[in-house]
């Protein structure tokens, strides 16, 4: 009986030893106490990169020959030049209307369909847009749609807002920790907001995104000095989450 008890005791010790070997090694947590806070920063900017899609189409007035697309294209580019718009900011967005435009043009076949073309022009102000609009052929111009808007310094603005958002998070963390008699330590993690492309919007002229949001004001404020109407402002906002250690 004594030998049996000793054998069982030895087996129990052996199993305990194996169990201890299989347990993960615990690492001391260097930040046992933390606080997670959010910070945000936003600003409004008047865009200086306004992308407009201008749709042009062939037309025919009663008793006159059809105004062909080549003539309309030439006139449009001439209007752009007169308005001071360089070729570098003009691009072809699409052709429409006559799907076999190139084929029928090459074979010189007549067609009852009216071919169309859509140009995209990048403006730097609402004034430059007005200069072109007043010169356009009203019969050929089908649509004048703002496709997207941005700013030439959007990258710098994003950087500034991210820094301000992190600073706002730290300021919040300080007064929250002091309210419970703690002291703020170093930053453990900073979650950077997701980068988004410049705003793209339709005729509604509005959009929203999760971390970085753009929207347009409902009004277009006039410039007090020049009397001109400014383009609708873009609202740029960043939100960050920061984890701080507590001392």
**142-181 pLDDT per residue, tens:** 999 989 899 999 999 999 999 999 999 999 999 999 999 9
Cβ 53 vs Cβ 93: under 8 Å: yes
Residue 238 has pLDDT above 60, yes or no: yes
**Residues in CB range of 189: below 8 A, 6 or more apart:** 242, 243
Residue 34 has pLDDT above 90, yes or no: yes
The pLDDT assigned to 213 comes to: 35
pLDDT band at 200 (very low <50, low <70, confident <90, very high): very low
pLDDT, tens only, 7-22: 555 554 455 555 555 5
Distances (CA, A) of 7 to 11, 14, 47, 153, 172: 6, 11, 85, 80, 64
The pLDDT assigned to 210 comes to: 31
**Residues in CB range of 97: below 8 A, 6 or more apart:** 57, 58, 113, 114, 115, 116
pLDDT band at 214 (very low <50, low <70, confident <90, very high): very low
Read off the tokens for 63: 């008793």
Structural domains in the chain, CATH included, are 34-46+153-246 (3.30.110.170), 49-150 (3.30.70)
Residue whose structure tokens are 């076949």: 109
The pLDDT assigned to 112 comes to: 61
pLDDT band at 211 (very low <50, low <70, confident <90, very high): very low
CB neighbourhood size of 56 (10 A): 23
């Amino acid at each position: 009986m004594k030998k049996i008890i000793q054998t069982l005791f030895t087996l129990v010790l052996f199993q305990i030893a194996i169990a201890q070997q299989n347990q993960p090694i615990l690492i001391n947590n260097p930040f046992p106490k933390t606080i997670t806070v959010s910070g945000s920063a936003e600003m409004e900017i008047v865009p200086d990169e306004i992308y407009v899609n201008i749709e042009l189409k062939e037309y025919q007035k009663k008793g006159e020959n059809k105004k062909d697309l080549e003539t309309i294209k030439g006139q449009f580019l001439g209007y752009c030049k007169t308005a001071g718009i360089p070729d570098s900011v003009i691009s072809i967005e699409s052709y429409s209307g006559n799907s076999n435009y190139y084929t029928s043009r090459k074979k010189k076949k007549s067609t009852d369909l009216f071919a169309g073309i859509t140009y995209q022009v990048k403006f730097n102000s609402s004034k430059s847009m007005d200069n072109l609009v007043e010169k356009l052929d009203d019969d050929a111009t089908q649509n004048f749609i703002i496709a997207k808007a941005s700013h030439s310094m959007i990258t710098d603005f994003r950087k500034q807002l991210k820094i301000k958002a992190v600073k706002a998070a730290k300021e919040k963390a300080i007064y929250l920790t002091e309210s419970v008699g703690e002291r703020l330590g170093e930053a453990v993690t900073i979650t950077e907001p997701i980068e988004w492309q410049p705003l793209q919007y339709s005729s509604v002229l509005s959009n929203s995104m999760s971390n970085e949001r753009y929207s347009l004001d409902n009004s277009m404020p006039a410039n007090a000095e020049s009397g001109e109407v400014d383009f609708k402002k873009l609202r740029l906002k960043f939100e960050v989450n920061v984890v701080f250690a507590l001392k």
